[in-house]
Chain A
Amino acid sequence: MINKIALTVRNITKNFGGIVAVYDMSFDLRENEVLGLIGPNGSGKTTMMNLISGSLKPTSGEISLYDNEISGLPPNRIAKKGVARTFQLVRILPTLTVMENVAAGGVFGHRRQWGRPLSKYARELLDWVGLEHVENAPISSLTYIDQKRVELARALAADPKVLLLDEWLAGLNPTELQTGISLIEELRTEGKTIIIVEHVMDAIRSLCDRCVVMNSGLKIAEDSPKNVLADPKVIQAYLGESDA
């Protein structure tokens, strides 16, 4: 059975002045699917994420969430419609407690709660990411991986229809990486719909149902992780032209 399409990206182009960061990108994200958006550095992956979340407005093209156009809307409206994200460089709210950092995602977003139900929900999420013991600690006292966990919990607090994880696994040591992968694995089992931008190939192989490969702003491949990683075009994009 093929699931419903959750997110549609159609002919999206983004120019910064004369530089084309994303050119004519089109792909679909299906419900309960984990889609990997991969490619070498500077290929436009994060720009693509920013276009979906509303941080950037596309120069042309259309992005739709369950057939509702979201491209061109400000990020707060897109968040309300059901897109939540983490950031490439972790962004926490330094003067708030761990608990409040998580709750921040659940007050104004896709699912809106307040008071006791919100605390309860935020506590469950903290529990789930493994931070139940530090809920009232100042956020600055947390390690990098723990801050990333908080950010993931904050994104999930909105109960989003589509979750965007922008290099959520970057900067983790091997043990932390295993923890990180298993958390996303759990989300996948729960049937969450996720786009991940990632460089960690192990994570891509084990987590993604499908991969879209970008290079210099263009989509160069779209297939299962196994197939795209064997595609000569993709290898060339990562490693450069062969000398032969």
Chain B
Amino acid sequence: MTRKEKRNFIISFLIFAIAALLPLTHSGYWVSIGVTIAMYAVLATSWALFSGPTHYISLASAAFFGIGMYVVGGFIEVIPFPVLIVLAALIGAIFAAIVGLATLRLSGVYFVIFTLGLAEFIRQIMTWIQTTMGTSSGLYVLTEITESMIYWQLLVLAAIVFLIGWWIGRSKLGFALRIIGNDEMVASHCGIDTASFKVILFIISGTFAAITGAVLAPRWTYVEPTIAFSPMISFQVVIMALLGGMHRLWGPILGVIPFTLLWDLISGTFPNQTSLLLGAAFLLIVYLIPNGIAGLLENFVKNGSKDIGIDGDK
């Protein structure tokens, strides 16, 4: 490990430690904002692990998130919560593998549309199952888990995502993905099994979204398809990651924090115009800061950290 990496580790650790102190404020409002930020930090960072290097824009975050949430909602009465988290991760991973194998041959806009359709499809199926087989349109998730506990769980999850992202960045897997993102034809002629590498990353990304959904289920106490599979989750993940910058591991979180705060303000002040404002925000971000806040910061600090090269110890 180089000195710079050690320094980055210490800084990251301190940031996480300070962030972990948030519930000590005993402010319900700030803890609630903190949960939302931590949730999107995990979702957007893990989303960017796949979509950043490959440029495959997935709108399936909500599908995985909802699956995780429903695993907890469906079995919380019979299976202990920690086991459900593992179960959600497994189901999310298997589902991502199936979807990945089936769709990663699609390119560009076809992939985007498919992932969006997928999330909607699952939402409709869940609604149908519940209304035809169940007695209500949702599930009760009654636990002793407080919002502060959810927050800490999400922080740990975020730390794991960052560690995995850091490891991928310096591994052959990460290098392969950057080559694939540049030119799949060249990648395959360099000996890279492009389909497998993409599926592996899609699985990692989908698994984390499923775990996030599982961890958050107790927050709502009553889980409905419209909450769990809301397409807004998928869109916001993309917007936040773009705002922060997808070309850096720490990029998305720079988008998550200001966006969540701003969003809270907007949805509080203009509750009926949120979709409109979301669209406007999307346009502005893409036009004005294509490389996100991370890109802006790097332009400020010209000697900012370089790309993760093939030899991390340079």
Q: Which residues of A contact B (CB under 8 A)?
A: 53-55, 74-76, 79-80, 84-85, 87, 91-97, 99-100, 103-105, 107-110, 112, 114-116, 118-119, 122, 154, 158
Binary A-proximity of B293-314 (CB < 8 A = 1, otherwise 0): 0000000000000010111011
Interfacial chain A residues near B185, Cβ < 8 Å: 55, 87, 91
Known: A95-B182, A96-B179. A84 touches B307 (CB 8 A): no
Additional A-B contacts beyond A93-B179, A115-B313 (9; CB < 8 A): A74-B193, A84-B189, A95-B178, A99-B309, A99-B310, A100-B310, A108-B191, A112-B191, A154-B186
Interfacial chain B residues near A74, Cβ < 8 Å: 188, 193
Residue in contact with B176 in the complex, picked from A95, A97, A107, A122, CB distance below 8 Å: A107
Asked whether, in the complex, the Cβ of A107 is within 8 Å of the Cβ of B175, the reply is: yes
Interfacial chain A residues near B176, Cβ < 8 Å: 107-108
For A53, A96, A115, the residue with the greatest tally of chain B CB atoms inside 10 Å of its CB is A96
CB of B77 within 8 Å of the partner chain:
no
Known: A55-B185, A93-B186. A79 touches B310 (CB 8 A): no
For B185, B191, B194, the residue with the greatest tally of chain A CB atoms inside 10 Å of its CB is B191
Interfacial chain A residues near B314, Cβ < 8 Å: 119
Closest A residue to B192 by beta carbon equals A108
Q: B45 to nearest A CB, angstroms?
A: 20
Interfacial chain B residues near A119, Cβ < 8 Å: 310-311, 314
8 Å CB contacts to A: which residues of B169-200?
172, 175-176, 178-179, 181-183, 185-194
Asked whether, in the complex, the Cβ of B310 is within 8 Å of the Cβ of A114, the reply is: yes
Q: Which residues of B contact A (CB under 8 A)?
A: 172, 175-176, 178-179, 181-183, 185-194, 307, 309-311, 313-314
In whole angstroms, how far apart are the Cα atoms of A118 and B309 in the complex? 11
In whole angstroms, how far apart are the Cα atoms of A105 and B186 in the complex? 9
Asked whether, in the complex, the Cβ of B188 is within 8 Å of the Cβ of A75, the reply is: yes
In whole angstroms, how far apart are the Cα atoms of A112 and B190 in the complex? 10
Residue in contact with B190 in the complex, picked from A92, A116, A154, CB distance below 8 Å: A154
Q: A99 to nearest B CB, angstroms?
A: 7
Q: A15 to nearest B CB, angstroms?
A: 22
In whole angstroms, how far apart are the Cα atoms of A93 and B188 in the complex? 13
Closest B residue to A113 by beta carbon equals B310
Asked whether, in the complex, the Cβ of A76 is within 8 Å of the Cβ of B188, the reply is: yes
Q: B52 to nearest A CB, angstroms?
A: 11
In whole angstroms, how far apart are the Cα atoms of A75 and B186 in the complex? 10
Known: A74-B188, A107-B176. A94 touches B310 (CB 8 A): no
Would you mind naming 13 contact pairs between A and B with Cβ atoms under 8 Å apart? A74-B188, A76-B192, A79-B190, A87-B186, A93-B183, A103-B310, A104-B187, A107-B172, A108-B191, A112-B191, A115-B311, A122-B310, A154-B186
In whole angstroms, how far apart are the Cα atoms of A105 and B189 in the complex? 8
In whole angstroms, how far apart are the Cα atoms of A119 and B312 in the complex? 11
Known: A97-B307, A115-B310, A119-B310. A104 touches B186 (CB 8 A): yes
Asked whether, in the complex, the Cβ of B189 is within 8 Å of the Cβ of A85, the reply is: yes
Known: A91-B186, A104-B186. A109 touches B191 (CB 8 A): yes
Asked whether, in the complex, the Cβ of A95 is within 8 Å of the Cβ of B190, the reply is: no
In whole angstroms, how far apart are the Cα atoms of A116 and B311 in the complex? 6
In whole angstroms, how far apart are the Cα atoms of A118 and B311 in the complex? 8
Interfacial chain B residues near A109, Cβ < 8 Å: 190-191
In whole angstroms, how far apart are the Cα atoms of A104 and B176 in the complex? 8
Asked whether, in the complex, the Cβ of B178 is within 8 Å of the Cβ of A110, the reply is: no
Asked whether, in the complex, the Cβ of B191 is within 8 Å of the Cβ of A76, the reply is: yes
Q: A90 to nearest B CB, angstroms?
A: 10
Closest B residue to A83 by beta carbon equals B189
Closest A residue to B307 by beta carbon equals A97
Interfacial chain A residues near B172, Cβ < 8 Å: 107-108, 114
For A76, A107, A158, the residue with the greatest tally of chain B CB atoms inside 10 Å of its CB is A76
For A93, A104, A105, A107, the residue with the greatest tally of chain B CB atoms inside 10 Å of its CB is A104
Interfacial chain A residues near B187, Cβ < 8 Å: 76, 104
Asked whether, in the complex, the Cβ of A79 is within 8 Å of the Cβ of B186, the reply is: no
In whole angstroms, how far apart are the Cα atoms of A119 and B314 in the complex? 10
In whole angstroms, how far apart are the Cα atoms of A158 and B188 in the complex? 13
In whole angstroms, how far apart are the Cα atoms of A185 and B182 in the complex? 31
Asked whether, in the complex, the Cβ of B188 is within 8 Å of the Cβ of A104, the reply is: no
Which 3 A-B residue pairings sit nearest by Cβ, starting from the closest? A108-B191, A93-B182, A79-B191
Asked whether, in the complex, the Cβ of B190 is within 8 Å of the Cβ of A158, the reply is: yes
Q: B105 to nearest A CB, angstroms?
A: 12
Q: A159 to nearest B CB, angstroms?
A: 12
Interfacial chain A residues near B309, Cβ < 8 Å: 97, 99-100
Interfacial chain B residues near A53, Cβ < 8 Å: 189
In whole angstroms, how far apart are the Cα atoms of A99 and B311 in the complex? 11
Residue in contact with A76 in the complex, picked from B182, B193, B307, CB distance below 8 Å: B193
For B176, B186, B194, B309, the residue with the greatest tally of chain A CB atoms inside 10 Å of its CB is B186
Interfacial chain B residues near A76, Cβ < 8 Å: 187-194
In whole angstroms, how far apart are the Cα atoms of A108 and B313 in the complex? 20
Interfacial chain A residues near B192, Cβ < 8 Å: 76, 108
